[in-house]
Structure 1
């Protein structure tokens, strides 16, 4: 007798914007194997209320030692990097074309020190640190990953941002030769993300260069990516080639594509549902847990890092500023 697999919620299969783009491509006869699997997914007006001042939190923020790590095999093969396709397996399958060396990062905007900097120069700023963080995807799955990298704030200080710098904008590489997913208009390339300055300078925010004691795999954002553990995973932009200090809130990719679903802040919040599904629980992929049938656990406010970061948003309505 055949065993019938349980029906999966639609949000675990295909985000609506990608579904729409896929249908358009199919109608045009341009559908590709790159779009065969599922994918996982900021700017609002400049009238954002000013947050209350808060003292910097400690930099520990590690996931409790009792939490089982996600296997490297899962963290490096079940992830999102639309530049290589919208399926969870596409990045591992196609990211071998990415050339992570040599690599440079352009720094611009409201700062005294700007220009193009080889990655090696950025990495000399401070010692690489080990950080084990939870990563929560907006679709409803999560992982626990040991990262290696530099506190973003320590890197940004080098460029001496001016008093006009209220936000930090990040841009991903967009090279069709290296990234086959760019041939398809799933989003408006290049991929862009941004943080408010105090979020970027917070001790928990990591500019990651490795995971599991190894350099970042291509599919996980080599050679340089952001990790912001209290926000949904799409805020942790990969393969960064540009950092800009801005006075205005910068446009961000998913917010531009679907603003009613993806806000600029995108803090993990079980009390604010995605318009098409609940955010109150998540599937934790760890140990030998199946990706589709992993244990479902309650989602914590700010992904469990509220003690360190909630003060950043004092006085803000987090339902409005989602």
Structure 2
């Protein structure tokens, strides 16, 4: 069952790159006046985005291989059109939604996120997409729902990495519902005014910029609203190293390395490291975790 949603904006309304770059310069100037947009630390500090080449050639996407260059080499095999997303569980309008219908009826926005991963490397990525909250409003999340579960496509004929038991396939992830509804949580559909490349999670991926990169599940085919905390792939693989929340927290080390500093991709192998900020610098999400022991709920 498919549904069409009404909205006047389409992907054609995405800001052209030349205007986008000019606006970035304006935002950098406004930051000193406290007028930077919701883009968090990246917008406030005017950080330059990584190049398209850097963003698309250095990736984690184990379905295509465990090397950082494997996704760029192998992801061309993934068929992304047609694409559909099953939305089920505690929602008013469960069904299989065609990706193109979602795109044609969603407001497309652009965000710049400082994107850090658990290996302590980071990128600044100009994502385009829409707020996950808008999608949830369209399908009508029921009052009993407390979490969202996500699932990546599982296609052994197109994803050579799933032939190996690196993880328990398919890749799954989850968020608490209030995390999912935060305005910073988006469903990304593009970068640099272009459709998101396969190696970056085409055609639809989650972006949660205050969490480590593995939380931002790629090539999503299913979203389930549930009243139970859902299993997540890395937590299933090693619960002692990868907690459900996976917030960027420099005060909690990974058991095998420190997460107090990070290395910016594109700065060269010998570039100086910088301090990792709590919640990746997105202080506006701190209220989501008031009263929680973030060393225990890591």
Corresponding residue SS for 2:217: coil
Instruction: Quote the offset at 1:220 in angstroms.
Output: 0.4
Say if 2:287 is the partner of 1:311. Answer: yes
Is the helix fraction higher in 1 or 2?
Answer: 2
The aligned length equals 261
Instruction: Quote the offset at 1:293 in angstroms.
Output: 2.9
Corresponding residue SS for 1:273: coil
Say if 2:241 is the partner of 1:261. Answer: yes
1:187, 1:253 within 8 Å by CA — same for their partners in 2? yes
- In structure 1, the partner of 2:51 is 71
Which of 211, 221, 228 pairs up with 1:248? Answer: 228
Say if 2:157 is the partner of 1:177. Answer: yes
2:91, 2:142 within 8 Å by CA — same for their partners in 1? yes
- In structure 1, the partner of 2:31 is none
2:167, 2:237 within 8 Å by CA — same for their partners in 1? yes
Cα RMSD, aligned residues only: 1.2
| Separation in structure 2 between the aligned mates of residue 74 and residue 149 of structure 1, nearest angstrom | 20
If asked which structure has higher relative contact order (CA below 8 Å, sep 6+), I would say 1
| Separation in structure 2 between the aligned mates of residue 232 and residue 144 of structure 1, nearest angstrom | 14
- In structure 2, the partner of 1:299 is 276
Say if 2:135 is the partner of 1:155. Answer: yes
Q: What is the TM-score when the length of structure 1 is the normalising length? A: 0.79
Instruction: Quote the offset at 1:213 in angstroms.
Output: 1.3
| Separation in structure 2 between the aligned mates of residue 95 and residue 295 of structure 1, nearest angstrom | 32
Which of 243, 254, 259 pairs up with 1:274? Answer: 254
Deviation by residue 1:216-240 (Cα, 9 ceiling, x = unmatched):
0010000000000000000000000
- In structure 2, the partner of 1:29 is none
Q: What is the TM-score when the length of structure 2 is the normalising length? A: 0.85
Instruction: Quote the offset at 1:127 in angstroms.
Output: 1.4
Corresponding residue SS for 2:139: coil
Instruction: Quote the offset at 1:61 in angstroms.
Output: 2.7
Instruction: Quote the offset at 1:117 in angstroms.
Output: 0.6
Deviation by residue 1:91-111 (Cα, 9 ceiling, x = unmatched):
000111001111000000011
| Separation in structure 1 between the aligned mates of residue 270 and residue 250 of structure 2, nearest angstrom | 20
Which of 81, 84, 90 pairs up with 1:110? Answer: 90
